Homo-oligomer: A and B are copies of this chain.
């Protein structure tokens, strides 16, 4: 069975949990402890993930680290129809645009603001919140006219961008004025098989 190195409150690990739930793929969760705001990385875990972060996915002999790689891998392996990650150049490129946003303005803004406000991590809160707003504006520019981020159907682009947007309030960032973003958050939560996490409504993965 797949193993996911994970933590309940991690939005990055939740991306993997959410796609696994939507694809109905069974897996085992292995929690990674924290110490002083960082992952507690022993040498065994460092051997699995040289970045010392979560999530990490273990599939038999194979190891993949980072939410981007895990989302792509799971979609390619467990969704042969290619709905969650289209295989053709332009549709896949469109998904990748949003995976890059998820790793840039969304992590540098929404993720960081949440870390400062919710977990007391050091950082420049006004700067993080300003970056968060720029992320929301980019998302709104798409979602005010389109239902999903990368194409006519939901893809891993939506999964990658969703968690820290839905958790924006935990970093003191309001999404109320972004009508398209707000509607999209509800649409993601309505997907068959959707699961939540602490801070995001929906059945949590136990």
Q: Give the Cβ gap from A46 to chain B, nearest Cβ, in Å.
A: 9
Contact of A100 among B66, B88, B101 (CB under 8 A): B66
Interface stretch, picked from A24-32, A103-111, A196-204, is: A103-111
How many chain-A residues does the 8 Å CB contact rule pick out? 36
Which B-chain residue is minimally distant from A135 (CB atoms)? B51
Known contacts A103-B104, A104-B103, A107-B104; A76 and B88 CB within 8 A of each other: yes
| Contact A66:B107 (CB < 8 A) given known A77-B89, A138-B51, A142-B50 | no
A73 at the interface (CB under 8 A from B): yes
CA distance A137 to B141 in the complex (A): 38
A64 B103 Cβ-Cβ under 8 A: no
A70 in the interface, Cβ–Cβ < 8 Å? yes
In the complex the two chains form, what is the Cα distance from A73 to B70 in whole Å?
19
B50–A138 touching, CB < 8 Å = yes
Copies of this protein chain in the complex: 2
Do A100 and B50 contact each other (CB < 8 Å), given the known contacts A76-B89, A87-B87?
A: no
Whether the Cβ atoms of A67 and B107 lie closer than 8 Å is no
Interface pick from A91-99, A168-176, A186-194: A91-99
A72 within 8 A of B: yes
Q: Could you list 9 further interchain pairs (A-B, Cβ under 8 angstroms) beyond the known A69-B93, A69-B96, A76-B93?
A: A64-B90, A64-B94, A66-B100, A68-B100, A73-B92, A73-B93, A100-B103, A103-B104, A104-B107
Are A62 and B76 also in contact (CB < 8 A) when A50-B142, A51-B101, A67-B100 are?
no
Are B107's CB and A50's CB within 8 A? no
